[in-house]
A = this chain, B = another copy of it.
Amino acid sequence: MIKINENYKKLQASYLFVEISKRVSEFQKKNPDKEIIRMGIGDVTLPLPAVCTSAMHKAVDDLANAKTFKGYGPEQGYDFLREPIAENDFKSLGVSADEIFVSDGAKCDTANIQELFSQDTVIALPDPVYPVYSDTNVMAGRSGNFINGRYENFIYLDSTEKNNFIPDLPSKKPDLIYLCFPNNPTGATAAKDQLKKWVDYAKENKALILFDAAYEAFIRDASLPKSIFEIAGAKEVAVEFRSFSKTAGFTGVRCGFIAISKECKVWDKEGNSHSLHALWNRRHSTKFNGASYPIQKGAAAIYTPEGKKEVKDMIDYYLTNAKVIRESMEKLGYKCTGGDNSPYVWVKTGKPSWDFFDFLLDKTGVVCTPGAGFGACGEGYVRFSAFNSKEKTEAAMAKVAEFVK
């Protein structure tokens, strides 16, 4: 008899975006004339950089011609993309092209990597959290039961006002640690000494850090690390996830990558060390067949001089929106995190997240994301995103200033 993976029964239904859209459509029904401005979404709105679309056009032409046609590519990605990634993103950090694994996006990569580890791996993850880290470990049977709003076997790394949204080292020892900076949803960024604490901790405890740097392109403060590999010794104890989704608007196009140093070791139960790079390579080549050729060509174009300029302009645009949000909310007396080196502004609401969500929607038609949807520590916060247009962002903030307070 075919029986299910019982762990799926432990998954909590994610009502966050369903509930938001239900409340928004109820509001719209009651107020058909009021404009709704969505400041909650994590999706981008600006078109792809022109260098990317023209590279993609050229790649599609390659596929139209027998002489230039490309069939199966290397599962790890084409050198024409892996080489500029290594050269530009990890220059001087000692990560080489063959340590880059190209994929169809960081969601898949952050979801899949847990498969490489033993069933009894102890997981530490931030709260509030990107739900993929949590749900994929629930599916794999590492969570235990969901009791009083939390899974009993996970170590939650509370990210709160008290620690400036940079979690403290845990009292219980994890094997696998998820970190994300600039953070989704809080927008917090970690300084080098803060990351160093985690790298040292991982080394001391033979733990592994999964570092999600999907938002690194938003870092403009030169003192902040864009890669965990800027921390000495990190290559031995950390893996880095990157994405072109927020960097270059690839959310619907799908491309990302993992950087895994050949120095990174993990252990079997006899205590023998294994190369994480080799393990991931086995997984990646067994279960994945390479990212789409024209999409990889589009991604490679980001690393040309024109591509870099277009990406910078795009990120500047969103960062300007983020600044508008943060300054407007602060002017109204709300404490904010993020928004300077991040597309997200995390606003302390002074009331339960959903109450503030309803209050804001009702008064202004502006939609934010209730922080409680990202975990227990998100209660009392909402997330604003900078990915709407400049005009809508300014209009939203003007309405908020008019009606709130």
Contacts and interface: CB of A to CB of B under 8 A. Distances in A.
A159 to B, nearest CB: 22
B292 A104 contact: yes
Given A136-B286, A293-B253, A3 B45 contact: no
Contacts of A105: 289
A117 B2 CA distance: 7
A37 interface: no
List the number of copies, as a whole number.
2
A268 B6 contact: yes
A107 B252 contact: no
B64 A48 contact: yes
A293 B342 CA distance: 26
Interface in A103-155: 104-105, 107-108, 111-112, 115-121, 131-132, 135-136, 139
A288 interface: yes
Contact of A267 (B3, B44, B57, B61): B3
Contacts of A208: 2
A289 B63 CA distance: 24
Given A4-B266, A8-B279, A252-B73, A53 B45 contact: no
A290 B252 contact: yes
Interface residues of A, number: 77
Contacts of A279: 4, 8
Contact of A63 (B47, B60, B61, B136): B47
Task: Give the 3 A-B CB pairs with smallest separation, nearest first.
Answer: A111-B287, A43-B71, A1-B206
Interface of A: 1-6, 8-9, 11, 43-48, 50, 53, 56-57, 60-61, 63-66, 69-73, 104-105, 107-108, 111-112, 115-121, 131-132, 135-136, 139, 175-176, 205-208, 249, 251-254, 266-269, 274, 279, 282-283, 286-295
Given A1-B267, A4-B268, A132-B286, 8 more contacts: A2-B267, A4-B266, A8-B279, A45-B71, A104-B254, A104-B289, A107-B289, A252-B293
